[in-house]
């Protein structure tokens, strides 16, 4: 244990400090070209959804992995360094390799898994994967022209929609003015003719059940009016007969019974020969009946206890 804490070290007799160089050599004594590409461990997320070809495990985009990042020498695109990543399947631990693709601003799957379809990505299919710069520029110009044409078509569609809305609003305003004018004409005609025109218009648009109900109400009102008129006429005839009888009694007291009997027989013959309407002259019309009274009438309470034979106790006081 004492060797770890020594303050001096052994130097051989042939030790020459001038022979010690400052240059750093790679591990294993090999140069950078002999050592191979630089590899380092990184933590990354899957840039796209993929499926393992060995076990079929699905790995979604954004899944985190402990990957080995490789920097291959001599693999560049327009001076941009390419990087290759090595990950393992989360189910079967099969190796999956993909690299960067600066040309299409994306990633390219090399082996171990199959990338899911991303139709919104450009440069992944066979038609645009090997296109040149000129073809890419032509395609971008064509897409920009299509986008401008689409915007122009959208502007025309919006203009047409606004025109249709304006026409619809004008039609609604015209219909509203026409309705207001017709209502004003009907109201003016109703005031001039006393409601006949309005009743005729309403009768034209009224429903059949409402018309039937109104007709029944009118028939009931007419029948009630006739019944009241008949009762009033009978009362008038009875009063006329009573007045004639009283006149005959007065004449008999003054002139004799013969004249009274003659006058009564004559009145009876005239009443039999003439209709009731002719007998009731305007001078002999009875006075109008008194107006109806709406005074509340208190009804006398019945003594149900007496009917049942129950005797009430008399109060002591």
pLDDT in tens, 84-142: 999 999 999 999 999 999 888 889 999 999 988 766 665 544 455 567 778 888 888 88
> Which residues span the domain enclosing 89?
32-123
User: CA angle, corner 76, sides to 75 and 77, nearest 5?
Assistant: 135
264 among annotated binding-site residues: no
In a domain, 227, yes or no: yes
pLDDT of residue 162 exceeding 50, the answer is yes
Higher pLDDT, 23 or 17: 17
55 among annotated binding-site residues: yes
Q: 62: left (phi > 0), else alpha (psi -120 to 50), else beta?
A: left
Find tokens 């006393």 and name the residue. Answer: 194
Give rounded-to-5 percent helix, strand, coil for the chain. Answer: 50, 15, 35
In a domain, 105, yes or no: yes
Q: What is the pLDDT of residues 191-246, one digit of tens each?
A: 877 655 556 555 555 567 777 888 888 888 888 888 888 888 887 877 776 666 65
Domain limit, last residue, from 95, 123, 151: 123
* Distance from C-alpha of 277 to C-alpha of 311, rounded to nearest angstrom: 60
In a domain, 269, yes or no: no
In a domain, 149, yes or no: no
pLDDT, average across residues 54-62: 90
In a domain, 114, yes or no: yes
In a domain, 210, yes or no: yes
Q: Cβ(97)–Cβ(110) under 8 Å?
A: yes
**DSSP state at residue 95:** E
In a domain, 158, yes or no: no
Give me the number of domains the chain comprises. 2
Residue 300 — pLDDT band, cuts 50, 70, 90?
Answer: confident
Domain limit, last residue, from 220, 242, 264: 242
272 among annotated binding-site residues: no
3 among annotated binding-site residues: no
Strand boundaries in the chain, DSSP class E: 38-45, 50-52, 58-59, 64-71, 76-77, 80-81, 84-88, 95-101, 106-111, 113-115
Q: How many CB atoms lie within 10 A of CB 46?
A: 20
* Distance from C-alpha of 132 to C-alpha of 47, rounded to nearest angstrom: 25
Domain limit, last residue, from 216, 242, 268: 242
Looking at residue 234, its pLDDT comes to 80
């Amino acid at each position: 244990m004492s060797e770890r804490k020594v303050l001096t070290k052994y130097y051989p007799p042939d030790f020459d400090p001038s022979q010690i160089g400052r240059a750093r050599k790679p591990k294993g004594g090999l140069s950078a070209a002999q050592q191979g590409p630089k590899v380092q461990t990184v933590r990354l997320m899957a840039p796209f959804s993929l499926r393992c070809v060995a076990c079929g495990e699905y790995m979604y985009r954004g899944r985190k992995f402990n990957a080995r990042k490789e920097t291959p020498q001599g693999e560049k695109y327009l001076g941009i360094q390419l990087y290759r990543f090595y990950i393992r399947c989360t189910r079967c631990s099969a190796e999956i390799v993909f690299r960067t693709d600066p040309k299409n601003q994306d990633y390219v799957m090399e082996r171990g898994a199959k990338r899911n379809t991303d139709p919104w990505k450009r440069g992944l299919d066979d038609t645009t994967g090997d296109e040149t710069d000129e073809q890419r520029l032509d395609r971008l110009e064509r897409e920009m022209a299509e986008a401008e044409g689409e915007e122009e078509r959208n502007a025309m569609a919006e203009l047409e929609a606004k025109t249709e809305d304006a026409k619809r609003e004008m039609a609604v305003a015209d219909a509203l003015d026409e309705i207001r004018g017709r209502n004003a004409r009907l109201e003016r005609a109703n005031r001039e003719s006393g409601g006949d025109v309005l009743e005729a218009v309403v009768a034209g648009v009224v429903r059949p059940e409402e018309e039937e109900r109104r007709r029944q109400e009118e028939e009931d009102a007419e029948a009630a009016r006739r019944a009241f008129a008949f009762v009033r006429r009978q009362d008038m005839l009875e009063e006329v007969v009573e007045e004639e009888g009283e006149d005959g009694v007065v004449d008999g007291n003054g002139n004799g019974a013969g004249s009274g009997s003659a006058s009564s027989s004559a009145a009876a013959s005239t009443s039999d020969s003439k209709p009731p309407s002719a007998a009731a002259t305007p001078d002999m019309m009875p006075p109008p009946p008194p107006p109806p009274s709406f005074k509340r009438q208190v009804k006398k309470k019945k003594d149900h206890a007496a009917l049942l034979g129950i005797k009430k106790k008399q109060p002591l006081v």
